[in-house]
Amino acid sequence: MPDSLQPPNWGPAPFDDRDLDAVLSGETADVPDALRPVVDTLAALRAAPTRAEFSGEANIMAEFRALAEFRALGLRGAQHSAGPADTLELHALPADRGPRRAARHRARRHVPPVSWRTGTLMGVAAAVILIAVAFFGNLPGPILRITHPRHVSVVSPPSLQGAGSKDPKTAHATPSGSHTTSAPSSTWSPSPTTSTTPSPSELCRSYYASFLHPESGTAEMSLGRKLAALAGRADPGHLYLFCRQYLGHIWHYPGTDHESQANPGQNSQSQTGGTDQAAQGQQPGSASSPAATQSGTGASPSTQSAAGSGQGSQNGGPTPNPPSPNPPSPVSSPAP
């Protein structure tokens, strides 16, 4: 049995780390023979360059000249886009500015959803509307005024509502018939321009036109009631005097020609619809007053004045006096 377990060819290492360091450093004078092939191999790696290794010189020199020209011209920013970008040099922030704010991401730029407060308000409003509809069978006045401003504002006076008028304008004025006379002020439009109540002149015109068609007796009666409500009294003479204020410029009276010529502007004023405007600008409260309209006794001072002015004409037929240039509306505020 051999004394040593080492194989017979094993011996001391032919070279050590110092020899390897010498080979790497190129100091190959004292290297062992075992490292001689390695030294020769590394020498081959350091051999003179071949022609193939200079093949790319033209390209890189062209790149160098181009960049040198750009730099000479001061166009430092004109870099080629094909290659990788240079390192972006960022200016250092001063220490007292604190940490840099985090970059905003596109994902954070979303439309904010409806806040819970807005949603709650919308829900409460919808619930109120539903409850109001359930209790009253219709939208409340303020909401209806918002949603249908014209429909709310066209409620006619209670005297006209109950007349069963066949006038399309009047019918339009009471679309649903749900507006009772108990609360006229809440449903009466404050704007005179939006009222569709037939003007006194139209009522008068229709009333006297109905005389030409005797077959429409019911229409005549209804128009008479309306006019009576406006004029304050139902007798034909009073209605005539009342309508004369509005239709006097149409009616021709043989005895009034000279007076009309003496005051030509008065008729022209009434022709321009000033009376209609005066009638449309009537005070809602006085016009829709049930006491004034239902009594038919001329309780309104204006109607009293109208009746008073017509008293003489009732006695003496058609008055020679022309209509007032600004005839007092039967529903206007009382004169002082």
Partner 1 sequence: MVGEDFAALLAAAQGGSDEAFAVLWRDTNPALLRYLRVIAPETAEDVAAETWVQVVRGLPRFTGDEAAWRAWLFTTARRRLLDQARLRKRHPAEPLDEVSAAEMPRTADAEQLAMENIATEAAMSLLSRLPQQQAEVIMLRVVAGLDTEVVADMLGRSPGAVRVAAHRGLKKLATLLSGAGVTL
Instruction: Give the residues lining the site for partner 1 (CB under 8 A).
Output: 17, 20-21, 23-24, 26, 34-42, 44-47, 49-50, 53-54, 56-57, 59-61, 63-65, 67-68, 71-72, 79-80, 83-84, 86
Separation between Cα atoms, residue 74 and residue 231, nearest integer Å: 98
Task: Count CA atoms within 13 Å of residue 17 on its CB side.
Answer: 0
Q: What type of residue is 62?
A: A
Cα end-to-end span (Å), the chain: 154
Separation between Cα atoms, residue 281 and residue 331, nearest integer Å: 9
Cβ nearer to partner 1, comparing 67 with 219: 67
Cβ nearer to partner 1, comparing 51 with 109: 51
| Beta carbon of residue 63, minimum distance to partner 1 (angstroms, whole number) | 6
Residues with Cβ within 8 Å of 193's Cβ and at least 6 positions away in sequence, in order, are 280
Separation between Cα atoms, residue 222 and residue 105, nearest integer Å: 76
Query: What string of DSSP letters covers 285-301?
Result: HHHT-HHHHHH-S--SH
Tokens of 203: 């009522």
Cβ nearer to partner 1, comparing 61 with 146: 61
Sign of CA dihedral 283, 285, 290, 295: negative
Cβ nearer to partner 1, comparing 46 with 117: 46
| Beta carbon of residue 55, minimum distance to partner 1 (angstroms, whole number) | 8
Cβ nearer to partner 1, comparing 10 with 116: 10
| Beta carbon of residue 53, minimum distance to partner 1 (angstroms, whole number) | 4
| Beta carbon of residue 30, minimum distance to partner 1 (angstroms, whole number) | 16
| Beta carbon of residue 108, minimum distance to partner 1 (angstroms, whole number) | 28
Tokens of 132: 């109001």
The values of phi and psi at residue 169, to 5°, are: -70, -40
Cβ nearer to partner 1, comparing 59 with 261: 59
| Beta carbon of residue 18, minimum distance to partner 1 (angstroms, whole number) | 10
